[in-house]
Amino acid sequence: MLHPMRMRNGTIDDLAPIVALHVESWRSAYAGMMPDTFLNGPLTEDRLVLWRDRLTSPVPGSALFVTHDDDDRLLGFAYLFPARDGRILLDNLHVRPGRTGSGVGSRLLRRGLAWAADEHPGKEVYLEVLRANTRAIAFYERHGARRTDERMCRFPQGFELAELEYAWTLN
């Protein structure tokens, strides 16, 4: 069942809720995948620096979509931007833990893909997902993504994890 939600473009006013949700999402989804010393250590500051930069100095051609419930609680967000190789990277798609499977992620994904088709016609949209994140992989495959690559992701915090690349070809 789809619950009432509002979707809009994200702004600097969304900084604190996005950071909090990003951290909560990573701690929930990546427990046992990423080192606990990172997830329970510098993750909040790491995400704060990332989102402060993205919201104060947006990448040209990027988009941030946020969804809120009727109580103005952030339910999820999606962030896309043009990558150096000419494709569009879906760098973040996060849904509040406990709300996964409720349609929030599907609606954000559809909005992001529609935006990319309108704003960057003919460009492929891709994402990188940890190989161990089987729930996310199943979600993307259900939504028509095809696996296009496999590699190791080296995190600046000093660890590496296997990741897969998935992509959509838009008209």
CATH number at residue 131: 3.40.630.30
Any domain includes 133: yes
Percentage of the chain with pLDDT > 70? 97
* pLDDT mean over 13-33: 93
Q: How many CB atoms lie within 10 A of CB 69?
A: 15
pTM for the structure as a whole: 0.92
Q: Are 151 and 165 in contact (CB under 8 A)?
A: yes
Any domain includes 117: yes
Place of tokens 């998935």: 166
Any domain includes 11: yes
Owning domain of residue 157: 6-168
Report the number of distinct structural domains present in the chain: 1
Any domain includes 1: no
Any domain includes 103: yes
